Amino acid sequence: MRMRIQVLYFIFMLHVSSHSLAQVGGSDFHHFFNNFEDSVFNREWMNPTTITSEISVQNYFSRTDENNHYSSGIEIAIPEDLKHKNFRISTGGLIRVNNTDGGIQMVLSIDVSDSAVFWKGDYLPDSTGKAGIWNPFKVSALLPMSIPANSRVKIFLWNASGKSLADVDDLEINFTEVEFPSFLPK
């Protein structure tokens, strides 16, 4: 009986995480985007590391390497209309690496008074298996309404080892309210 309950709970959690989350539109959606083309706008993002390339389709981008382990990113307060609500943070963009085994991570950190209350690093694989190619990526995290209202959200690319060059461009961050079911499905 206990095993059956555990299996049912597992199935329920899979169902909730993949199908039952309803995205709420309207004012509960917040979108941030940086293509690194506007140097004035880039100063509003943390750790501005914008460089140019004559050979890239992407003219400007943020680079990490052995001397700079963090890309440009964003640090903001949780949007007012999402405080005390469940929400999803989705991050996407383009990544290019010169070493496909570089261990590059997209980091989501939630801090209160400079102390992390949540930290998640998603490794970004090079989907082509070839160095030097721009690849799209998308990662997300579900966050509960219990996240402290005075939290700050930081999102950035982390090149922990610094062994490879990693470039990010067209960085897009979305905050969306989600509703979890309040009962087990029958």
Closest to 160 (Cα-Cα) out of 122, 126, 129: 122
Q: Are 131 and 125 in contact (CB under 8 A)?
A: no
Higher pLDDT pick, 98 / 119: 119
Report, as an integer, the average pLDDT of 39-48. Answer: 64
| DSSP state letter for 50 | E
DSSP output for 98-136: S-TTS-EEEEEEEEETTEEEEEEEEE---TTS-TT--EE
pTM of the predicted protein model: 0.75
Task: Count the neighbouring beta carbons within 10 Å of the beta carbon of residue 158.
Answer: 19
- The residue behind tokens 């706008």 is 41
What digits encode the pLDDT tens for the residues 102-142?
788 999 999 999 899 999 999 886 656 677 888 899 999 99
The answer on pLDDT for 12 being more than 70 is no
pLDDT at 14: 32
> How sure is the predictor about 161, in pLDDT bands with cuts at 50, 70 and 90?
confident
